[in-house]
Amino acid sequence: MLQSGVHATISGVLLAFALPFGNGDENSPSYKLQHFLHKPVAFIILPIFALANTGIVFTSGWYNHLVSKNSIGIMIGLVIGKPLGVLVFAFTAVKLKISSLTADINWNHIIGAGILGGIGFTMSIFITLLAFKDGQIVIASKIAVLISSAVAGLVGYMYLKFYHQKEKA
């Protein structure tokens, strides 16, 4: 495929069309393949793909740039700003009767989802590339985005897990 000129994405789509779907139950080949590949793709391939596409080059002293105003602003924005923004807008929408919380969703779920919103590093790295021209600032910003995304993911997971355990008790 590589030498044919057909992009890998197109060949993947064509391969997916070639898999027998059957009736879509748990015995179909496509269902079995999807469930077999889910964890390796989600926890190995996707993170490697994301890191490879960030283009981060770790130079000596890279960690010194993490205390710059730019990096601290990025980290505060993703770890505190995103959850706060999600909560404020959801609260406003509910109070203005634009939306409502369903019976199985409460404000702790909204807070948890807001915390997990800080994970979105793809767009943050894209904006970093558009906003800064200095290579050192770009690298430091990308690292700050990745660290913030990891912190948001970990804190969001722990928050929702703790809340779920508390809810069960």
Residue 37: both structure tokens together? 């590949």
Residue holding tokens 């990891």?
150
Sign, CA torsion 145/106/84/64: negative
pLDDT at 80 over 90: yes
| 127-165 per-position pLDDT tens digit | 888 999 988 888 899 999 989 999 999 999 999 999 888
pLDDT at 9 over 90: no
pTM: 0.72
Domain ranges of the chain: 8-54, 62-168
Give the Cβ contact number of residue 121 at 10 Å.
21
pLDDT at 169 over 80: no
pLDDT at 50 over 80: no
H-assigned helices in 3-58? 8-18, 29-40, 46-54
| 87-109 per-position pLDDT tens digit | 999 999 999 999 999 999 999 99
